[in-house]
Structure 1
Amino acid sequence: MNVLFVCLGNICRSPMAESMFRQLVNSAGLADQIKVDSAGTSSEEEGNPPHPGAQKTMRRHHLPVDGLVSRPITSRDFAWADYIICMDNMNLYNLRRIAPAADRNKIHLANEVVPGHEQEEIPDPWYTHRFEDTYQSLAKALPLWLERMQAQL
């Protein structure tokens, strides 16, 4: 199973989600069954590492940062991914607009698995500078995504 996390620039939310989810997958002993990656809907930050604020928060939570480099989503990503999990409604709209029709059902809002918060967006720390809030939001949603995926393995 292949999981792709997507935000706008791929320097804050989606690399944080990628690292967090990979850690969850590894802890569950599923690294050979679930592959994880991230991308952005914009190419503006292409080649850049995660935002310094994201790196600081990730390190505080003992999440690896090495190897995370921003890149834009490609047509191959739509074919590769079984789940494309995006962070906000703008990304959801943009992904549905550019996705091949057959792959649109793979696109999900990150919080849609969180009871009572299905329509909420993951806060963008690029604007808020509150990277810990982003981490905490992802920490609620990602274990629920892993549960959903484990049920399909």
Structure 2
Amino acid sequence: MKVIFVCLGNICRSPMAEAMFKKIVAEAGVADQISVDSAGTSNIAEGSPADSRTKAILDKYHIKDDGMIARQLCDSDYYDADYIIAMDQMNVRDAKDMAPAGLENKVHGIFEATLGKENRYIVDPWITHRFQDTYNSLSEALPNWLVKLKKEIN
């Protein structure tokens, strides 16, 4: 099973989600069954490391960022991934628009696995500067994705 987290530039929300999800997947003992990656819908920050404020939040919670470098979502991602999980409505729309024919159904919103909050999204902290809010939202959404994926791999 492969999951790719997506935001606009792949320097704030999606690398934070990637690092956090890798940790909870490893802690759940399913790292050999679930691979985790991240990408952006644009190439605006391609080749850049995660935003320093994202790194600061990850450091605060002792989560490794493993030197992630921003990249743009590409066609092969749609073929390789089981789920492409986007952070906001624009990311969902853009990721679906970028999808090769017939693969747009792999794109999901970050809270789709959270009962009662399926239409909730995470605002870009690059704009709001609220990186702790991003972490808090991901802390709520990601465990629900783990539950969903564990059911699918068992």
TM-score by structure 1 length?
0.97
User: Over aligned residues, Cα RMSD in angstroms?
Assistant: 0.8
Q: Which residue does 2:73 correspond to in 1?
A: 73
Matched, 1:38 2:38: yes
Deviation at 1:67, TM superposition (A): 2.2
Name the amino acid aligned to 2:104.
R
- Report the Cα distance in structure 2 between the residues aligned to 1:141 and 1:48, rounded to whole angstroms: 26
Q: Which residue does 2:112 correspond to in 1?
A: 112
Q: How does 1:19-98 map to 2 (within 5 A)?
A: 19-98=19-98
- Report the Cα distance in structure 2 between the residues aligned to 1:139 and 1:129, rounded to whole angstroms: 18
Name the amino acid aligned to 1:129.
H
- Report the Cα distance in structure 2 between the residues aligned to 1:126 and 1:88, rounded to whole angstroms: 13
- The list of structure 1 runs, each at least 4 consecutive aligned residues, that deviate by more than 3 angstroms after superposition, is none
What is the total number of aligned residue pairs between the two structures? 153
Name the amino acid aligned to 2:13.
R
Deviation at 1:101, TM superposition (A): 2.6
Aligned residues: percent identity? 50
Per the alignment, in what secondary structure is the counterpart of residue 70 of structure 2?
Answer: coil
Per the alignment, in what secondary structure is the counterpart of residue 19 of structure 1?
Answer: helix
- Report the Cα distance in structure 2 between the residues aligned to 1:9 and 1:76, rounded to whole angstroms: 18
Per the alignment, in what secondary structure is the counterpart of residue 31 of structure 1?
Answer: coil
Which runs of no fewer than 5 residues in structure 2 stay unpaired? none
Name the amino acid aligned to 1:80.
D
Deviation at 1:54, TM superposition (A): 0.6
TM-score by structure 2 length?
0.97
- Report the Cα distance in structure 2 between the residues aligned to 1:109 and 1:146, rounded to whole angstroms: 14
Name the amino acid aligned to 1:50.
A
Deviation at 1:123, TM superposition (A): 2.0
Q: Which residue does 1:4 correspond to in 2?
A: 4
Deviation at 1:116, TM superposition (A): 2.5
Deviation at 1:105, TM superposition (A): 1.2
- Report the Cα distance in structure 1 between the residues aligned to 2:7 and 2:58, rounded to whole angstroms: 17
Name the amino acid aligned to 2:8.
L
Name the amino acid aligned to 2:97.
R
- Report the Cα distance in structure 1 between the residues aligned to 2:41 and 2:15, rounded to whole angstroms: 13
